[in-house]
């Protein structure tokens, strides 16, 4: 049997959403945040906290940036357990701040950040956490298109 296919062969046009912003295939926001931290850092491997996606991509782009908290607290939040008690209780206060903009007791969150030796906090600018994080001891070092980067004050 002979099978003949008669049809049009062509390409599917790519939408702008499918074309990467840069050769790293990361958002330009990630690169901007990383570059600002790189210019400001006073230690070789600073500890950074951000929402899970940003934190993963920052680490992919610049391996000198260390996760301020581990993966488990983010996984708990993804499962809806935003208020896990016990071992991850302090980490969850950080996750709630960077992912949702929550402003919990400043002393408690300061203690959580100090426990993890966090050098930089990255949040969505829309959260408006400048005054809150300044109270905790972190000042704005820069802004990208959607994020604000806070550095620990010495």
Model confidence pLDDT, tens digit, residues 57-89: 999 999 999 999 999 998 888 888 877 778 888
Distance from C-alpha of 107 to C-alpha of 135, rounded to nearest angstrom: 9
Q: Tell me the average pLDDT across 35-40.
A: 97
Residue 13 CB-density burial (10 A; 0-12 exposed, 13-18 middle, 19+ buried): exposed
E strand residue ranges, the chain? 47-49, 66-67, 120-124, 138-143, 147-152
* CB proximity list for 146: less than 8 A, separation 6 or greater: 29, 124, 125, 126
Average pLDDT, the chain: 88
Model confidence pLDDT, tens digit, residues 1-23: 555 545 555 454 544 555 667 78
The pLDDT assigned to 12 comes to 47
pTM of this structure: 0.85
Helix axes 71-78, 89-100, angle to 10 degrees: 70
Q: Hey, which residues does 112 pair with through a beta bridge?
A: none
């Amino acid at each position: 049997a002979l099978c003949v296919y008669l049809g049009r062969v062509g390409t599917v046009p790519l939408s702008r959403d499918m074309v990467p912003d840069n050769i790293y295939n990361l958002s330009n926001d990630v690169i901007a945040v990383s570059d600002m931290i790189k210019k400001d850092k006073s230690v070789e491997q600073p500890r950074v906290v951000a929402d899970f996606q940003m934190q993963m991509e920052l680490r992919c782009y610049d391996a000198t940036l260390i996760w301020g908290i581990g993966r488990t607290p983010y996984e708990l939040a993804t499962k809806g357990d935003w208020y896990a008690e016990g071992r991850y209780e302090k980490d969850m206060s950080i996750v709630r701040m960077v992912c949702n903009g929550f402003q919990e007791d400043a002393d408690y969150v300061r203690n959580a950040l100090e426990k993890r030796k966090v050098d930089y906090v990255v949040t969505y600018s829309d959260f408006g956490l400048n005054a809150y994080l300044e109270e905790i001891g972190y000042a704005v070092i820069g802004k990208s298109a959607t994020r604000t980067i806070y550095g620990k004050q010495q």
